[in-house]
Amino acid sequence: MVTQAASARPVAPAGAAVAVAAVQFAPGTDPAANLEALREHVRAASERGAKVVVAPEYSMFAVTRLDERIVAVAEPLTGPFVTGLGEIAREFGVYLIAGMVEQVAPEAGRIRNTLVVLGPDANLVTKYRKVHLYDAFGHRESDVVEAGAIEAPATFTVGAVTFGMQTCFDLRFPEGCRRVAAAGAQVLVLPAQWIPGPAKVDQWTTLLRARAIENTVYVAAADQCAPRGAGASMIIDPTGAVLAELGDEPGVLTADIDLEQLAAVRRTNPSLALRRFAITADAPE
């Protein structure tokens, strides 16, 4: 529901930059192998100074079509995959965000598409369960995935920088990203398995830059690379400028989240402060 906005939020105070990395790789159907591959990418990101590392959606287990295989591999948040992510985060002293396949109940025959954030102490910081399911372009994620409940945006803070999360298809819903920005996020973290197809990379890059511009936030988008993802992971500043990007090959991107730059952009373009409408979430009837 769209309502009249409350009073404008103040611009966040400037602070030290935080280095963020986006990991692009091709997870497969072996969660242990995916963890090991991700560990090496996190090592590379850490060596470049990254304190926050973003990995793709479905980093735990990736297929082109969701079916009973993904239900069979699902784990609770206390399972070995999330535990392994925590060990990687602790080993390299980073905050690590990645997509996992969360078990609903053994008999449910469904899973949740969940992002988890693990801190440098290996503990779970927060989580986000995908709200907008990929029932488009001939796919039906809702056949096996249970949509996340509509809750307050999941955010976490590193230094003076606040991060918020969305996943893949959520990118096509600007009101969801606006809720994250309105909750105080200065960086939108967006893991994805953006399925390749005609014009899909153009849509992906256009939408990522639009979300950065309209919300005056940084965007750190980590996609799967070929063959199951379109690649084109990128880090974007609040003006929509691309700071770093990849093609469809594996790799690691790094860039600084600079709150002084963010404050300057928001002084010049105070679109969040000038907005006349707020987004409120109604539960489905």
Model pTM score:
0.93
Query: Which one of the listed residues 75, 102, 127, 168 is annotated catalytic?
Result: 168
Residue 263 CA, chain-centre distance (Å), reads 23
Query: Which one of the listed residues 57, 102, 141, 245 is annotated catalytic?
Result: 57
Q: Is 225 a catalytic residue?
A: no
Q: Is 245 a catalytic residue?
A: no
Residues forming a β-bridge with 128 = 115
Cα 144 to Cα 129: distance, rounded to the nearest angstrom: 14
Residue 53 CA, chain-centre distance (Å), reads 10
Query: Which one of the listed residues 75, 102, 127, 130 is annotated catalytic?
Result: 130
Domain ranges of the chain: 2-8+19-275
pLDDT tens, the chain, 285 aa long? 333 343 333 344 445 689 999 999 999 999 999 999 999 999 999 999 999 999 999 999 999 999 999 999 999 999 999 999 999 999 999 999 999 999 998 778 899 999 999 999 999 999 999 999 999 999 999 999 999 999 999 999 999 999 999 999 999 999 999 999 999 999 999 999 999 999 999 999 999 999 999 999 999 999 999 999 999 999 999 999 999 999 999 999 999 999 999 999 999 999 999 999 988 766 554
DSSP-assigned states of every residue in 174-188: HHHHHHHHHTT-SEE
Instruction: Fold for 2-8+19-275, please state it.
Output: Nitrilase/N-carbamoyl-D-aminoacid amidohydrolase (3.60.110)
Question: Do 201 and 232 form a contact (C-beta atoms < 8 A)?
Answer: yes
Q: For 136, how many CA atoms within 13 A lie in the half-sphere containing its CB?
A: 12
Q: Is 57 a catalytic residue?
A: yes
Cα 101 to Cα 31: distance, rounded to the nearest angstrom: 10
